[in-house]
Structure 1
Amino acid sequence: MNHSITIKSGQLELSGVLQYPVRDNNNERKAGKYPLIIICHGFIGNRMGTDRLFVEAAERLTKNGYLVLRFDYGGCGESTGDYGSGGLDELIEQTRTVIDYGYSLDIVDSERIILIGHSLGGAVAVLTAARDSRVKSLVLWAPVAHPFMDIRNIIGTKAIEEIDRTGKTDHMHYELTKYFTDSLAQYQPLTELRGYSGDVLIVHGTADTIIPVDYCFLYQKMFWLRKEGNCDKEVILQGDHTFSSKSYREELFDVTFRWIDLIGKRRSDWSLWTI
């Protein structure tokens, strides 16, 4: 069952959908509560995902007993606001507001709140988790590692020059301001991730021409330097940035959902121990 929701974040109204499990999963469910997975879309994206990536992921997750929340960042999809007028700090704050909403639901297991972030949404998920201990697990699909450099590369040199000259540019019908691009330089996911102590899965395709697959290895190395938390990675041979073919997507989902199930089982097993 899908339930359309609107979440107030400052002056913005974030549009989203809460998708309920279609069946129980006894290994995951605890005292009438369900694990919650929140999906964070990427740069100028939306809660549907390219080629329905997030829709398909949510359908699979709900069939396996998970509660899923997909939402549009401000100025994207059906949410109010102008995406390029704010900064990366606002995307982090909006994500935390969505976590507030999920955390307040009686049916949510507060010990199983998971963020799935794709591309820039992956970087936002990392930065959010480093600031919010309610995030227990992270799944990063082709995550941005250097927000300032990566987004500059996406929009191109001509757009950057226009921003420096006039303070804004039009990119794919989104007005990106200098405030937005400057904010990207203020955040470093690869160093700030040390503030997060939970488990992480990173999945990246070798044929990704948008975000380098090398980031997968770099992220894992940095996560390994933490004192707590595990980090696993999976590289999909010839997979592109949005895992667009059926075979790439099936592999993405298989790897991701098996990992999420494993983390849940591990947490459940540990809960049986008492000191």
Structure 2
Amino acid sequence: MEHHITIPCGELELAATLHYPTDKEEADCRGGSGKWPVIIICHGFIGNRIGVDRLFVKTARAFSSQGYMVLRFDYAGCGESTGDYGAEGLDAMITQTRRVLDYALSLDCVDSHQVVLLGHSLGGAVALLTAASDRRVRTLVMWSAVAHPHNDIVRIVGKDAYRQLEADKGIDHKGYLLTPVFFDSLSKHQPFEQLRKFGGDVLIAHGTADDDIPVDYAPLYQKMFWLRADGQCDLELIFQADHTFSNRDSTLTLIGKTSAWLLDLQKRKKEWYDWMI
């Protein structure tokens, strides 16, 4: 069952789609307490909640069939949400993500101890930065995640276009007006410096044929996460997958490995809990 909803965030209206578990037995098994775990999907740079080649639709439906509640949404100025993309920078995207968290956790059927943030590309960095400042996030999944927001987005936009950026104007990129405020905010946030603040478990997945965000970021992220005092971090490299995992095999492999990791994580936590008792 899927519901299209609108989540208020200040003066903004964030368009979202809520997927209820379609397998009630799986949902009861995963929730345990009669409530369901929730996965919130954060899309990437000038993206939307559908995703390239419907990646996030496929992901949400796959996870809902496995007993998860899934919430995917459009950041301001993207998809069907109101507002202008990046108008208030990365800080606003973190605020919007936290507002979506508020909404998800206001639902009586959601287990507040099983909250997963799944972010793709720039959304991966936003998910990490949100998790670092919000203890309600228990698990983090990062697909093709940006590591150096300013440099990575400038490379995608193009250095020549970026050089045309003026203090009182923005630059047009595929119909989106990117302002100095947006680029300044990208410089302000450094995921590698913030990740130690998140003590939960992390899965990093990246395609080996990613031409947009270097696959070398993935093992570096894992190394940095392993330096934390708490939480584990696992890495999955998807062979020959591009930035958006756009072919069928890449999509199925990505979703399958992510699902298996979440299931294994849940199993290990249950075994640890039983051992402690």
TM-score by length of 2: 0.96
Map of 1:93 onto structure 2: 95
What residue in structure 2 maps to residue 80 of structure 1?
A: 82
What secondary structure sits across from 1:79 in the alignment?
coil
The amino acid that maps onto 1:12 is L
Verify the 8 A CA contact 1:40 1:115 in the aligned structure 2.
yes
| Residue pair 1:114, 1:137 contacting (<8 A) in 2 also | yes
Correspondence for 2:10: 10
- C-alpha deviation, 1:273, in angstroms: 4.6
Unaligned runs of 5+ in 1: none
Q: How far does residue 165 in structure 1 lie from its aligned partner after superposition?
A: 6.0
Letter aligned with residue 121 of structure 2: S
Q: Separation in 2 of the partners of 1:91 and 1:72?
A: 10
Task: Give the secondary-structure state (helix, strand or coil) at the position aligned to 1:68.
Answer: strand
Structure 2: how far apart are the matches of 1:30 and 1:115? Answer: 20
Partner of 1:22: 22
Please give the per-residue CA displacement for 1:130-177, whole angstroms capped at 9, x wherever unaligned: 000110001100000000000000001122112136531111100010
CA shift, 1:249, in A, is 1.0
Where do residues 118-197 of structure 1 align in structure 2 (5 Å cutoff)? 118-164=120-166, 167-197=169-199
Task: Output the CA distance in 2 between the equivalents of 1:213 and 1:112.
Answer: 29
State which of 213, 228, 231 in structure 2 corresponds to 1:229: 231
Query: Separation in 1 of the partners of 2:233 and 2:160?
Result: 38
Q: Do the aligned partners of 1:27 and 1:264 also contact (CA within 8 Å) in 2?
A: no
SS at match of 1:27: helix
Rounded Cα–Cα distance in structure 2 between residues aligned with 1:137 and 1:255 = 15
- Cα offset, 1:267, TM superposition: 2.5
Number of paired residues? 275
Instruction: After TM superposition, list the pairs within 5 Å mapping 1:240-255 onto structure 2.
Output: 240-255=242-257
1:200 aligns with 2:202: yes
Deviates further, 258-267 or 74-83: 258-267
Q: State the percentage of identical aligned residues.
A: 55
C-alpha deviations, 1:214-250, integer Å up to 9, x for none? 0001100110110000000011111100011111111
Q: How far apart are 1:266 and its partner, in Å? A: 2.2
* Paired residues of 2:123 and 2:145 also in contact (CA < 8 A): yes
Deviates more, 1:154-163 or 1:116-125: 154-163
Q: Partner amino acid for 1:218?
A: L
Distance 2:38 2:270 in 1: 15
Query: How far apart, CA to CA, are the structure 2 residues paired with 1:91 and 1:165?
Result: 22
2:51 — aligned with what?
A: 49
Shift of 1:29: 1.8
Distance 2:19 2:275 in 1: 32
Measure the CA separation in 2 of the matches of 1:166 and 1:93.
Answer: 25
Q: Which range is displaced more, 159-168 or 87-96?
A: 159-168
8 Å Cα contact 2:167-2:180 kept in structure 1 = no
Please state how far the C-alpha of 1:270 moved relative to its aligned partner. Answer: 3.2
Deviations 1:97-142 (A, max 9, x none): 1001111111001110001100000000000000001100011000
TM-score, normalising length: structure 1: 0.97
Aligned with 1:39 (options 33, 38, 41) = 41
Residue number in structure 2 paired with 1:65: 67
Q: CA deviation at 1:274?
A: 4.6
